Chains A and B, each alone.
Chain A
Amino acid sequence: MQKGIFFLLIAVFSIALSWYEPPAALMQEELLVAEVLEQLGEAPLPHKPDTSLAGVSVAKGRDLVKRGSPGGPGGMVSPHFTCLACHNVERDEPTLSFDNPQERLEYVAEKDLPFLPGTALYGAVNRTRFYNGDYEKKYGDLVKNARHSLRESIQLCAIECSQGRPLDAVEMESVLAYLWTIGLKIDDLALDKTAQERIEAALAGQGDPEAAIRLIKSRYATAAPATFVEPPKDRKEGYPVAEADAANGRLIYENSCLHCHENKRYAFFRLDKSRFSHRQLKKHIPRYTRYSIYQVIRYGTSPVPGKRSYMPNYTMEKLTHQMVEDLRAYIELRAGGGTPGEKEKGI
C-alpha cells in the first residue's frame, strides 16, 4: 500500500513538473546589444556582413583578424602586423566609455590582456564613428571615408596602419561576420534591475521604445576619441605631474611595450626585462631620438624604407601624461637595479 502511494506521488510530481514553465526571459544576457536596439525600432547598423557572398564565414574572419591570413590558400594581409598587434578582441574597457586609460590599464592587467594603442575590436560593430579626432592629422583625407564606415576603416587599417594589402570583398565581409560575434552583449552594459525591466517592457510592447534605446546607448560610447599630444617641452623634466608611480609604470612596460618589442614580435627594436633594456631606454629619455620614450609614445615612428612596419603613437585617451611619467619612473628604477616597491628607498 505504502509503495503504491509512493509511486503515485512520484507520478503527480512528474506531471506537475512537465506543466511548469519558467518565466520567459525577454532579454538574455548574451543577446547582442545591436539586435535589441533593432527590436526596439532602431535602424539596422550599416556594417552587417553580406553573407550571401560565397565563401564568407566567421572562421575566415577570425583567421584574418587573429592570424592576418584568410586561412587555407591566401596570402597574408600584412607581412608586418595582425590586428592583434594594436587591438584586443576581448573587452578591454571597464566602462565602455573610452575616457579613462588608467582604469583601462588596471582592467587589462587584471584580465591578463595587453594594453594596446588601438581601441578593442570587441564592440567595434556597435560604434558609428571611426578614426576620430586627431587621426585626420595623421591620415589626412584618408579618414574622410573611414569616419562613418566600418568597412572603409577596416580597409584603411589594412592598407595604412598594418602596411598591407586591401581586403577583397569576401575577406571584408568575413571580418565583419567575425566582428559581429564579438559585438557588445546586454551583459556588458551592467544594467540594474530597473533598467532591465524598462527595456524588457519596451521589448514586450508595453513601454517607451525611444527611452529604452536612449537608456541602452547611454551605457557605451559609439566613438573612441583620439587626441594627439606633444612630448614634454623639457624632456629632462618630463611632464609636470605630482608624483610618478613605478608600479603602474611596470604594468605599462609589461603589458604595452613588451607586447610588440619582446623578441621583436612586431618591432625592430628589441626590449626585454633585463637592465640592459632599461638602461638603454633611460639614457635616451631626455634625447630627441626615436629611442626616447617621449618621442615614440607621442609621435610614434615612421616605416623604415624596405621594412615597412612602424610604431603607432599613443593618444592622450590611451596614455595620459601621468602614465608616461609612471613608465619613466619604472624604467629609471629598473635601470638603477631597483624594483617597484623599493621606490621609497630612493633607488
Chain B
Amino acid sequence: MDRIAFLLLLSFCWLANSLSAQEKAYTHTTFKDRRVINTQSVETLGKRRLDVRISHRFGDFAGDNGGWPTLYGLENASDILIGAEYGLTNSIDVGLFRTKGAGAMPDGTSGLRQLINGTAKWRIFRQTADGSMPFTITAVGLATLSTAKKAESNESSLNSFPTFAHRMAYNGQLLIARKFSPGFSLQLGPGYTYRNLVPFGDENGIFSLSGAARIQLTKVFGIVADVTVPFSERRLDNEQGFYIPWGIGLEIETGGHVFQVNFTNATAIMETDYIPYTTADWGDGAFRLGFTISRIFNL
C-alpha cells in the first residue's frame, strides 16, 4: 500500500512538473554525457536522437597483469561495450548494448559473460534556473542477459544456468543531481542490484550508493569522477578481495561531441557487472585506461 501511495505521489509530482514545463527555464548540461565514467548521469538524449557508443576498458595499467609486458594494459581489453541508445522523448531513453562481461570474484570465478544489456532511463524532474526545482532526478533501469553457452558439466559455475532466468541480473538507480554553477555539478544515486544466480555464499541483492562530480576547467576541458559504494559487508572489506569501484576522467568537448579519457579500477562497464564484481585495487596498479566513442544522430 505504501508503495502504491509513493508511486501515486511520484506520478502527481511528475505530472505537476510536466504541466508547468513550458513556463520554466531549465538548467542544462549538469553532465555532458549520459554516463559519467562507470555510473549513469541524469542526462537524457533528447527526442529522436540516436547515440551509437563504443566504450573500451583496457587491461591493468600496472601490477602483476600490467606494465611493459602488456604496454600498460593497452594490449588487453577488459571489457568492451557496443550498442546504441535512443531518445523516445526528451526525457525518456531506451538502449541496447552488448558487453563482453568482465567481473570476477576474488577467487577468480568469473561473473556473467557475453551480456546483452537493455536500459531505460526516465528523467522525472529537471533542475530549474529559478531554483523552484533544485535537482534533476532521473530513474535508470538495467536488465542484463547472459548469452554465454550453458556449462552442462559444471554445476558450481554461474554458467550452469539451471533455468533461463538464471541468466538475468538487474539494476535500478534513482539519480539525483544538481548543477551548482557552470563549473561544478554533483550527483548521488541510490541503487539496487539483483542477480538471479550468484556464486555460492554470495548475496543476490545489493544496495549501493553512487556519487559523481564534474568540474569544468575551460570550455573544452573538464574533470569527472565517480564512485559506487556497495552496501555489502563483504564488499566493503578489502580483506575479502573486493574493492569499491571508482574512476576519474578528463572530458574534452569538441564541436561535435564529448571525448572522454578515464582511469578506473572497475574492469566491467555495466552496473550489474562492476557493482558486484570489482576486485581490482588501485593500490596494486590494477586500474585501467578507458574511453568512449559516442556519435549522436538526429533521426
The answer on A and B forming one complex is yes
Q: Report yes or no: A307 in contact with B256, Cβ–Cβ below 8 A.
A: yes
Q: Is the interface of B mostly helix, strand, loop or mixed?
A: loop
Q: With the chains together, A309 CA to B298 CA distance in Å?
A: 9
Q: A79-B299, A263-B28, A280-B219 are in contact. Are A269 and B255 (CB under 8 A)?
A: yes
Instruction: Say yes or no: is B132 at the interface (Cβ < 8 Å to chain A).
Output: no
Interface range, A side: 20 to 34
* Of A76, A277, A291, A307, the contact of B297 (CB 8 Å cutoff): A307
Contact residues, B166-185 vs A (CB, 8 A): 182-183
Interface string of A249-276 (1 = CB under 8 A from B): 0000000000000110000111010111
Q: Does B48 contact A (CB under 8 A)?
A: yes
Contacts A270-B29, A272-B28, A276-B219 hold; do A76 and B48 have CB atoms under 8 A apart?
yes
Which of B29, B219, B255, B297 contacts A306, CB < 8 Å?
A: B297
- B255: chain A residues within 8 A (beta carbon): 268-269, 290-291
Pick from A80, A269, A272, A279: contact of B29, CB under 8 Å? A272
Q: Is A304 an interface residue (CB 8 A)?
A: yes
Residues B182 and A279 in contact, CB atoms below 8 Å apart: no
Partner of A270, one of B48, B253, B295, B298: B253
With both chains docked as a complex, state the minimum distance between the C-beta of B35 and any C-beta of chain A, in angstroms: 18
B9 within 8 A of A: no
Determine if B220 is an interface residue (Cβ-Cβ < 8 Å).
yes
B binding-site residues for A, Cβ under 8 Å: 28-29, 48, 182-183, 216, 218-220, 253, 255-257, 295-299
Contacts beyond the supplied A268-B255, A307-B298: 20 A-B pairs with Cβ under 8 Å = A79-B48, A79-B297, A79-B298, A268-B256, A272-B29, A274-B182, A274-B183, A276-B182, A276-B183, A276-B218, A277-B219, A279-B218, A279-B219, A280-B218, A291-B255, A306-B295, A307-B256, A307-B296, A307-B297, A309-B298
Contacts A/B (CB < 8 Å), 24 sampled: A79-B48, A79-B297, A79-B298, A79-B299, A262-B28, A263-B28, A263-B29, A268-B255, A268-B256, A272-B28, A272-B29, A272-B182, A274-B182, A274-B183, A276-B182, A276-B183, A276-B218, A276-B219, A277-B219, A280-B220, A291-B255, A306-B295, A307-B296, A309-B298
